[in-house]
Chains A and B, each alone.
Chain A
Amino acid sequence: MMDELYRDYILEHYKEPHHFGELENPDMQAHDVNPLCGDELGVHLKVDESGTITDLAFHGKGCAISQASASIASEELIGMKVDDVAKLDADWLIDLLGIEISPTRRKCALLNLKVMRGAVTGDASWPE
């Protein structure tokens, strides 16, 4: 039975998230909660002189969608310039996830991008 939302790769990322944890002496970091559900997410980043993200770790508690989204995004974000991360929008992440996200679960999916952009820009607004 293949579920249209909880696809195998989503559940794999949920059960064994990539880049889950914390970094020592991160160059940038941010932490936020989803006020609707109280789920939490924090990110730690290592950034080199050229402004490229060399390492990343996220931690927190959340549903399968929020955890898988953070795990999948982390793969793309490592190697990106922080200036480019600042420009990422909601569509980028939703496309990357490859699943239909209902309006009620949108914030679950987008929390990690909100925190990531907050870490590099200081602007903690929700991605549009």
Chain B
Amino acid sequence: MTEQAVHAPASLAQRVRGDFPILAQEQDGKRLVYLDSAATGQKPSSVIDAIDSFYRNSNAPIHRSTYALAESSTQLFEGARERIAAFMGATTETTIFTRNATEAINLVAHAWGRDPRTGNIGEGDVVLVTEMEHHSNIVPWQMLCRDTGATLDYVKITDDGLLDADDLAAKLAGGNVKLFAVAHISNVLGTVNDVKALVAQARAAGATVLIDGSQAVPQMPVNVAEIDADFYVWTGHKAYGPTGIGVLHGRRELLATMRPWLGGGDMIKVVNWNDSSYNDLPWKFEAGTSAVAEAVGLGAAIDFIAELGSENIRAHEHALVENALPRLAEIPGLTVVGPGAEARGGVISFTLDGMHPHDVGELLGRENVCVRTGHHCAQPLMRRLGIPATARASFACFNDTDDVDALIEALHKARKVFGL
């Protein structure tokens, strides 16, 4: 028992499970085995309570009114930003709230990419992404390229699901890559990219770099100052926070010269009849009434992660991946896509011979084992892998080896239903 208790994976999950009210529910007497945190994270009580308390005790318009309640709501909102910025190694000025990662990427595509004054992206330029990107980090660039006459190109992946270093070097050597946009962790392959090295390499080739950290922030230490990308985006709902809130961190010099994307209230200083002067950073990019309660909730989510320690979450999920990979490989006909445990985050996508992922997902669901099935918003990657879809199990701090047990057992049961 003492041996068990000091074993890292068991202790972290056992400690935090009680913090997640949703995990207490059952379906037909089966406990909830939530293995879909890469799609959206569950919320600890502290996050739910922060949002609840905001509306009960502190709700008022931010930034404008002078009464005490409005001061407290403003403080909660800006206080969340301060803690988030500090946790991420950024400043408050360079920490912009968006609706989600998708909106943060679109903000960059519009405000940086489409600016006619600077011509950051134009004809003959290349926007370079990778074959492992989420649609969020592909489609905005397709739209930008279509409008500007630039070309979208993809860094290839190897059969192990790693970025193809030779291909990247060759494409950067072309000399016309203006922007390189890449995921910190792939939501399908689980691949953890060495983004610090990628930023240095792409910058040396003259490219501006955007990192999509949607999968990374919830599961590993991230310091945007160290990574030193021009833009780093992530999304609240995957990081134990609420939906409707995401973050864009940007290099100050870039943000300062970029024009606003959306116009409206809050992003201005003075509005004249024909033109306006814009607000300071970060508010220049936060037009309209902000998602205040959501920002407060995200602040609480970051507190939760900080208290556990990102490096502990990473170690815990890594141990689960190491536990799960060989056991999954023992299931006849099961193929895991992506790299080995050493280069992988807490994400395992797989296919099962003789069963479509949807049917796998349906049958696991009956055991109350929740996995994602489908193309995971990465259709180009599916095409590259030559498969229409996968099933995907992904881990969070509250998962434990008993969840892996439940997954394996449910997979055996599913195969039986199909007579395999």
Residues of A within 8 A of B (CB): 1, 3, 5-6, 11, 15, 36-40, 61-65, 67, 105, 108
- Residues in chain B near residue A39, CB distance under 8 A: 356, 358, 388-389
Are B374 and A36 closer than 8 Å at their CB atoms? yes
Q: Which segment, of B21-29, B76-84, B101-109, B412-420, faces chain A?
A: B412-420
Are B417 and A38 closer than 8 Å at their CB atoms? no
Are A38 and B359 closer than 8 Å at their CB atoms? no
Are B417 and A3 closer than 8 Å at their CB atoms? yes
Report the Cα distance A62→B356, complex, angstroms: 7
CB distance from B277 to the nearest CB of A (A): 44
* Chain B residue at minimal CB-CB distance from A38: B375
- Residues in chain B near residue A108, CB distance under 8 A: 358
* Chain B residue at minimal CB-CB distance from A64: B359
Is B362 at the interface (CB under 8 A from chain A)? yes
Given A37-B358, A37-B373; A61-B388 close (CB under 8 Å): yes
Are B417 and A1 closer than 8 Å at their CB atoms? yes
Are A37 and B374 closer than 8 Å at their CB atoms? yes
Report the Cα distance A38→B363, complex, angstroms: 20
6 tightest A-B CB contacts, nearest first: A63-B356, A63-B358, A38-B375, A37-B374, A61-B388, A64-B359
CB distance from A77 to the nearest CB of B (A): 23
Report the Cα distance A3→B418, complex, angstroms: 9
- Residues in chain B near residue A15, CB distance under 8 A: 354
Report the Cα distance A105→B373, complex, angstroms: 12
Are A38 and B356 closer than 8 Å at their CB atoms? no
- Residues of chain B in range 352-368 having any CB-CB distance to chain A below 8 Å: 354-359, 362-363
Is B379 at the interface (CB under 8 A from chain A)? yes
Residue of A3, A37, A105 touching B389 (CB-CB under 8 A): A37
Interface size, B (range)? 10 to 19
Is B222 at the interface (CB under 8 A from chain A)? no
CB distance from B334 to the nearest CB of A (A): 17
* Chain A residue at minimal CB-CB distance from B360: A63
- Residues in chain A near residue B417, CB distance under 8 A: 1, 3, 6
Residue of B355, B374, B416, B418 touching A38 (CB-CB under 8 A): B374
Are B374 and A65 closer than 8 Å at their CB atoms? no
Report the Cα distance A64→B363, complex, angstroms: 12
Is B382 at the interface (CB under 8 A from chain A)? yes
CB distance from B96 to the nearest CB of A (A): 31
Contact with A along B82-109 (1 / 0, CB 8 A): 0000000000000000000000000000
Report the Cα distance A3→B373, complex, angstroms: 21
Report the Cα distance A36→B355, complex, angstroms: 18
Candidate in A11, A36, A64, A108 with the most chain B CB atoms within 10 angstroms: A64
CB distance from B371 to the nearest CB of A (A): 14
Are B419 and A11 closer than 8 Å at their CB atoms? yes
Are B388 and A11 closer than 8 Å at their CB atoms? no
Are A64 and B375 closer than 8 Å at their CB atoms? no
Report the Cα distance A95→B349, complex, angstroms: 35
CB distance from B415 to the nearest CB of A (A): 12
Given A1-B417, A11-B418, A11-B419; A40-B359 close (CB under 8 Å): no
* Chain A residue at minimal CB-CB distance from B416: A1
CB distance from A56 to the nearest CB of B (A): 22
- Residues in chain B near residue A65, CB distance under 8 A: 358-359
Are B382 and A38 closer than 8 Å at their CB atoms? yes
- Residues in chain B near residue A40, CB distance under 8 A: 388
Are A6 and B359 closer than 8 Å at their CB atoms? yes
Are B419 and A38 closer than 8 Å at their CB atoms? no
Report the Cα distance A81→B379, complex, angstroms: 37
CB distance from B209 to the nearest CB of A (A): 30
Residue of B374, B379, B418 touching A6 (CB-CB under 8 A): B418
- Residues in chain B near residue A1, CB distance under 8 A: 416-417
A-B contacts, 30 of them at CB < 8 A, read A1-B416, A3-B417, A5-B362, A6-B359, A6-B363, A11-B418, A11-B419, A15-B354, A37-B373, A37-B374, A38-B374, A38-B375, A38-B382, A38-B388, A38-B389, A39-B356, A39-B389, A40-B388, A61-B388, A62-B388, A63-B357, A63-B358, A63-B359, A64-B355, A64-B356, A64-B359, A64-B418, A105-B358, A105-B362, A108-B358
- Residues in chain A near residue B357, CB distance under 8 A: 63
- Residues in chain A near residue B419, CB distance under 8 A: 11
CB distance from A41 to the nearest CB of B (A): 11
